[in-house]
Structure 1
Amino acid sequence: MRAYALLNIDKERLQPFFDRVPELFHAHHHSEAQDPKGYEELLYRLYRPYTGAMLDMVDRWAVFDERDWREDVQLEVMLFLYAIRYPDTLLIESLSDKARSYLPRLSSYLHFTKHT
């Protein structure tokens, strides 16, 4: 039933939204609140081997609180970043509950480490 609903959407009704997508994308990604210059710089400042300082840069850009991780959790997240083949995110299921409790943070790390 879901496939039928997805395949039979009213495209004409959605057209005004899709007509505005370029404008909305530009307004969001080029606003000063999004810090486009900082974002672009950060894309090129994270590289292997990853360090805690690199994760700190992502945390500051994303306005996350300072990480208060034990060393084993940070190691687990670092190994996760090396091993995952984004966009296949099944590996997230193998993380400990502590590491998995930071999904927004992990998502940001994945974005900046797997963009190429």
Structure 2
Amino acid sequence: MLDRHGGMEMAGRYVARHLTLSHDAGALIATLIRAVLREDAGFHSYQMLEASVAQFREWGPTPEGQRILSAAARYLAAHSPTERADLQTAVVARKLARDEKLY
């Protein structure tokens, strides 16, 4: 759900379902970390994810802990690149490949 625009609601639901079914929280956290790194997110996204993981470790797989990671996934989905940003990245990559000036 972090690959396309508008995936906030479903990202939160997937996380809640994953934890409700007692699947591995560590694997889920690793997936969220990979998503943030893949998107080359800004400082606030890293900071938010770090705080969410720390809070989840305090609360554990309780309903409160589930809400914390669901909220983190929703936040990350809301801040995933838009289609415009993806196109912009492709344009920059093409210019770099052609050894063109960016500005």
**TM-score (normalizing by structure 1):** 0.26
**TM-score (normalizing by structure 2):** 0.28
Task: Tell me which structure has the larger Cα radius of gyration.
Answer: 1
